[in-house]
Chains A and B, each alone.
Chain A
Amino acid sequence: MMRFYVIFLLMLITTLSAEDSCISCHSELDEERDESDKIVAKYLSGIHAQKEVGCADCHGGDPEAFDDEDEAMWDVDNFLADMEKQDQLDMCGKCHSDPQYMRMFSASIKTDQVSQYLTSEHGKSLVKGNQKAAVCSDCHSYHDILPVQDPRSIVYALNVPVTCAQCHADGQYMKDSGLPIDQLSQFKKSVHGVALLEKEDITAPACNDCHGNHGAAPPDVVHVKDICGTCHVNNRDLFQKSHLFSELSKEGFGQCEACHENHAVLKPDDSFLDWSENSVCIKCHLDGGSAKIMADHFYTIIDSLKENLKLAHSIIDSAENKGMIVSELFFDLEEARKVLIHTRTNIHSFSTAYVDTNAAPGFKAAQAAILGAQASLNELGFRRKGLFYFSLIITFLVVVLGIKIRRMKK
């Protein structure tokens, strides 16, 4: 495979060299460079080469001038080589902000990257003259730029955290920004990070899903619920209607992150409600009070639903292992399990009445499953008792027949 790729690349370079002086000369220069610095090879592996966007389309110059370096580059007015970060924005934006041009490649392609960028913290900082602010090539790399859907791309979902961390985890680089540098290490521990980086679940959020990509900025405290609510819709809706939301908003306190953290979003656990060291409520409600009563109530509801489910499961398993048909009871079990999941969401209403009302069908379903399974076990007992009496009758008849046969023998 590798051999095929090298042959293909050589053929491509040979073909393109004949038409493009940039490729022709830089291929020769690349021969003395390390693998990671070979400009032409990188370019040829990227999306621009695939779409036949040549070197001169970004850098200017004259790709038809084969004989003289000055004629090809330095003497041409529009030639761009080592450029300022601001120039890079113009260079990329020249095409990527032109809907008419970009439509040639895809009907649904976005062209708002530069305008979005200018609203981002990166963009604002660049405008202020901060040359450390990230621009296009810092996130997308240059020459070997790949589409976001390509797993080799540094902006592919699984690679985004590491790409962002190139700057954001570098203490020296971020020294003057006043920002923390532990986001990646925090994220790796989080439920999102585990799903994305360990389980490689690309539906799990990466940095850009909460912060935006081209318009990257930290969400305002008051809008955190909307950011989290993009995925956790029910939790957001319930929380937004709760008394806790209005009180937190009044005081300007954090919302979702107050209990769940931000980069280190913990995997939610029922012990969050258990009034002990794991409890998240205790972080603010040190004195307990009504918060403790509510948390205890929620914890009891969830715990007893879980216990009911466990009991139902064990009786159903027992009946099933003994050969009884209990498949219909799994519908009740599923219903109860669904309600348990909803109850964990419903606690975001911070209303005991709401939680109780909506948990009731779960208890009912679990009870139905328990009763159904018990009825199955009772039926099994009935069958065994029936078998016992039947065997008694058969044994009696066999003994009577045996006696009769013995008498007949005599």
Chain B
Amino acid sequence: MSKFYQWINERLELDDAIKFAKKKRVPIFYGTVWYYLGGVSLFLFAIQLVTGILLVLYYQPGAETAFESVKFIVSKVEFGWLIREIHSWSANLFILFVFFHMFTVFFAKAYRKPREMTWITGMLLLVLGLAFGFSGYLLPWNELAYFATKVGSDIAGAIPWVGEFMLRVLRAGDEVTGATLTRFYGIHIAILPGIFTVLLVMHLMMVQFQGMSVPPEIEKIPEEKRKTIPFFPDFVLRDFMVWLIVLNIIALLAVFFPWELGQKANPLVSAPAGIRPEWYFMFMFQTLKMIPAHVLFLEGELFGVMLFGVGGLIWFFVPFLDKKSHMGIRSRFWTWFGIFLVVYIIILTIWGYLV
């Protein structure tokens, strides 16, 4: 074993990496638990990567084959049901944990100098995560997915100036058809993973090189007085323990709450009642439903899309807008802005499911 390690070490310089990991310290304070959220998100992404590759072995994109192949995977392929369930559940949990991760980072002001780029890459990863969800939702080609994609892409079509072009690019035509499915499949398994991996590597490298951020009030404590533990092996083992628990939760969800396959999509039938997007788009969907048909001189839908566009940009550039954070001061405005956003998302999501 030692000979094998030596052989690897001579080529990959593992000793240096371990030395770096051991040297790296993780702060211990009331918010240490937040540090696990990023790690869990990474773990969930890895699960999706593995299960996604396994699904690709059997999945056949195309209006005539997609639904049947998913049905085949879950009913005939040995443990196919498990792979699909884990893929679907880990995808949803991934978005959930990324949201948690993002808000804990926001409230800990971890985006402040010099970590602005870590926030930006994280935000881009969230956008890509949502795109993964949107594109993956259509792939089983069932009724719900078909109409949700139709509604979702319609909203994209409302974006000023580029909406119509985006709609056609997304749908690979004017309507949601088999061509849309093939396009979504390509986006889901090739384009998004490619960009995501590059951004993820950048994000992780920045986290590793800059170390863990602590909230401003902890930062004021002299460094020698702050409690820390080594990243390796102490924190890594803790991380690993959380991952195991998350894995067990996924297995539990997969067995007791399997995802319905439903009916095969049929573009000729009318949309079934209660068409809803995935839960992470629900607050936006509900907002659009509540906006009147016309707001001032704008169409309601356009107004909604612009509202989310502006809101998204503000959120995206918050490290540059929250100037007080660079001085280690918590800005009341930005804290309340974050609280408002969290409450808004929770209320609108619940509302969306109740009506």
Chain A interface residues (CB < 8 Å from chain B): 323-325, 327-328, 383-384, 386-387, 390-391, 394-395, 397-398, 401-402, 404-405, 408
Contacts and interface: CB of A to CB of B under 8 A. Distances in A.
B123 interface: no
B294 interface: no
Contacts of B238: 405
A373 to B, nearest CB: 13
Nearest to A328: B75
A384 B258 CA distance: 12
5 contacts: A325-B75, A391-B248, A391-B252, A394-B247, A405-B238
Contact of A390 (B71, B241, B248, B260): B248
B237 interface: yes
B64 interface: no
A383 B244 CA distance: 19
A398 B241 CA distance: 6
B349 to A, nearest CB: 24
Most-contacted residue by chain A among B241, B247, B251, B258 (CB, 10 A)? B241
Contacts of A324: 258
Interface string B43-87: 000000000000000000000000000010011000001100000
Nearest to A400: B241
A129 to B, nearest CB: 63
Contact of B251 (A328, A387, A398, A404): A387
A325 B241 contact: no
Contacts of A327: 71
B75 A394 contact: no
B248 A404 contact: no
B214 to A, nearest CB: 20
Interface size, B (range): 20 to 34
A397 B252 contact: no
A324 B252 CA distance: 15
A390 B245 contact: no
Contacts of A328: 75
Nearest to B245: A398
B237 A404 contact: yes
Given A384-B255, A408-B234, A325 B244 contact: no
Nearest to A383: B255
Contacts of A390: 248, 251
B337 interface: no
A323 B237 contact: no
Given A323-B260, A327-B71, A398-B244, 9 more contacts: A323-B257, A328-B75, A383-B81, A387-B251, A394-B245, A394-B247, A394-B248, A401-B240, A408-B237
A405 B237 contact: yes
Given A398-B244, A401-B244, A405-B241, A391 B234 contact: no
A408 B260 CA distance: 45
B234 A405 contact: yes
B241 A401 contact: yes
Contacts of B241: 398, 401-402, 405
A401 B75 CA distance: 36
B237 A387 contact: no
Interface in B110-148: none
Interface string B256-285: 011011000000000000000000000000
A151 B237 CA distance: 81
Contact of B71 (A325, A395, A398, A404): A325
A79 B181 CA distance: 77
B70 to A, nearest CB: 10
Contacts of B74: 325
B75 to A, nearest CB: 4
Contacts of B258: 323-324
Closest 6 CB pairs of A and B: A323-B258, A394-B248, A325-B75, A401-B241, A387-B255, A383-B255
A408 B273 CA distance: 57
A130 to B, nearest CB: 58
Contact of A387 (B233, B240, B252): B252
Contacts of A398: 241, 244-245
A394 B244 contact: yes
B21 to A, nearest CB: 15
Contacts of A387: 251-252, 255
Nearest to B71: A325
A390 B71 CA distance: 25
A387 B245 CA distance: 13
